[in-house]
A = this chain, B = another copy of it.
Amino acid sequence: MLKPLGDRILVQVDEEKEQTIGGIVLANNAKEKPQTGSVVAVGAGSQTPEGKTIALTLKVGDKVIYDKYAGSEVKYEGTKYLVMHEKDVMAIVE
């Protein structure tokens, strides 16, 4: 498994569901691609200037909305994830 470092989290991106109208598959507008996903792993936390570790707020299972350009894509065993800093998460969907 992938373990994010520091204040990073690992997000499994929600799949874009294709819309079908009368049997024709319509690709989604690129501008509206999903920016939501589920947290599948979290780092140990951020570090104060004095070296103390502060646990992250997010936890595995949280469904999150994140900035459009947040994170770097990583592939692991065929699945695509985003590794991003917790601060790039805008909100939790409760």
A89 in contact (CB, < 8 A):
yes
Tally of A interface residues using CB under 8 Å: 36
Once bound together, how far apart are the Cα atoms of A67 and B92, in whole Å? Answer: 24
A65 in contact (CB, < 8 A):
yes
Q: Contact between B93 and A76 (Cβ–Cβ < 8 Å)?
A: yes
Q: Contact between A50 and B52 (Cβ–Cβ < 8 Å)?
A: yes
Chain A 42-61 interface residues, beta-carbon cutoff 8 Å to B:
44, 46-52, 54, 57-58
A87 in contact (CB, < 8 A):
yes
Q: Which residue of B lies closest to A93 (CB)?
A: B2
A–B complex contacts, Cβ < 8 Å, 20 sampled: A2-B65, A2-B94, A3-B91, A3-B93, A4-B91, A5-B57, A5-B86, A5-B87, A5-B91, A6-B87, A8-B91, A35-B74, A41-B91, A47-B54, A48-B49, A50-B50, A50-B52, A72-B90, A74-B91, A83-B90
